[in-house]
Chain A
């Protein structure tokens, strides 16, 4: 319909708020239910897609949907408090009404991943968009369609790790290999050569691959890229999906390359400032690419062909 106001959000109610991480840049997960039954049923997203969330009077912000499409009737958003809108969201309570429009973006090409081993590598709040994919893959509806699953996730400290209870559940499953890490600590002389916390043994900085692995241990002190090196997934019939701060992605990708992953086997999501979400307002462009429409999911091969301005 050409006359439909594309900028008009649907009303949605916050039904649950979970505090994932505290601190200055706290992280919360919001469970949101679109008020109108018909709109809710028609809001069908793909893993990796985004939505525009509104706090009326404050503004709009593009947020990746962190629940898989297989979870019906509600959507989840895991949001770090950084800007005006996310700060306002963090002040909201269960029962409050927000606006939502979308879903936007391309999402991950799930059909192409079918039959393949999936490696998920998330750093910090970058785990949020990946969650919509690994929960899709691990769900009973689709688990059989995919091969082995390796899930690598790291955050700064144990307190910064999101989805704690959920990861405890995943850890119990035998059809997924979960590896988690917390950052090496910094001292005045550089990184401190000790475990960051109890129960998180340190991975050798100089040569991560040589670290002795205690039986059954999957909690480490290291950065995410080093954990990739330790876990050393095979590139054969595999895809790697990674998301996190640019610096983490950079080294994750380098290490994947070392392991033999080709550019078309590695996928990541880009973020850029967006206002409209529908390819009009102009600001999310990287060259002729509109991140909001053509992205946010890109293969490493696609990213390499872009003007490097992101």
Chain B
């Protein structure tokens, strides 16, 4: 792990010193040990703030959209140099969709790919730390590492191995593509992709009756507080004005927070992510109300695969699902 960290710093330093990138997007230590936080640095002196740990869950591709949307000040020459960005395989797939959809010109990003066999979920780490009786004070200085495919944490002089299965983020358990492809440079050895059963997360739901499924989602959507975090962290929710905010000439979605409007919001988002969602799991991770959004998007991912043999973000050469048409396309939903 620390080898990767050193390499990240080295590359970032070089890129910034040579002025090859405008700035560098990576991870820094969060205020507690469970979360690494995104950081944007433009000074080579700051590269030591960059880290790599099993807590680097955020999908940083969302900041590329920020960069593309930036408007230069009047009279100012736009700085079109690329932005350095660290990308795990799932993040890279997000960037690939941005490339496919012509949102991001390829030359605007310098992609540092890191093969990844899974990240830890902050909530799970926190729970484990609690069970092991780690004091609050220690939480801040705790080190969480991955060495030879094993997670461990070290706090108050005690080092403890963490059962991989218990801390791995759910999305990582279902990840079948560990190696980023669309990269300018790759750090670390490539990892073997696992043979996993796809779509286990939605199996239980699929087996439910339509009525039960409706009840399931109704109960869950009722909890939503419409903080829009799911849409704001999504690198593919890049519309200038979202349907839910659009008020001119009429409001499509009421600001009233209730079952029906919340369902409208989530289903609208889901529909706009068919064949685009790359399962980085950010929406589900950030949801304060514990809404299992991945279950929604995973189902649509499955539909896209089964109906059209389409896998989102697998190649920047692919025509996006909704931009492609062949005579063989199935014309009805089951």
Contacts and interface: CB of A to CB of B under 8 A. Distances in A.
In their complex, do chains A and B touch, with some C-beta pair under 8 Å?
yes
Interface of A: 84
B248 interface: yes
User: B interface, how many residues as a size bin?
Assistant: under 10
3 contacts: A84-B247, A84-B248, A84-B249
Contacts of A84: 247-249
Nearest to B249: A84
Main secondary structure of the interface of B (DSSP, over half): loop
Nearest to B248: A84
Interface string B246-257: 011100000000
B110 to A, nearest CB: 36
Contacts of B249: 84
B256 to A, nearest CB: 14
Interface in B234-250: 247-249
A84 B248 CA distance: 7
Contacts of B248: 84
A190 to B, nearest CB: 16
B42 to A, nearest CB: 26
A84 B246 CA distance: 11
Interface string B1-39: 000000000000000000000000000000000000000
Nearest to A83: B248
A253 to B, nearest CB: 23
B235 to A, nearest CB: 29
A84 B249 CA distance: 7
A2 B248 CA distance: 36
A84 B250 CA distance: 9
A81 to B, nearest CB: 12
B251 to A, nearest CB: 9
A56 to B, nearest CB: 14
Contacts of B247: 84
Nearest to B247: A84
A110 B248 CA distance: 39
A187 B248 CA distance: 33
Nearest to A88: B249
A137 B78 CA distance: 52
A84 B251 CA distance: 10
Interface string B314-332: 0000000000000000000
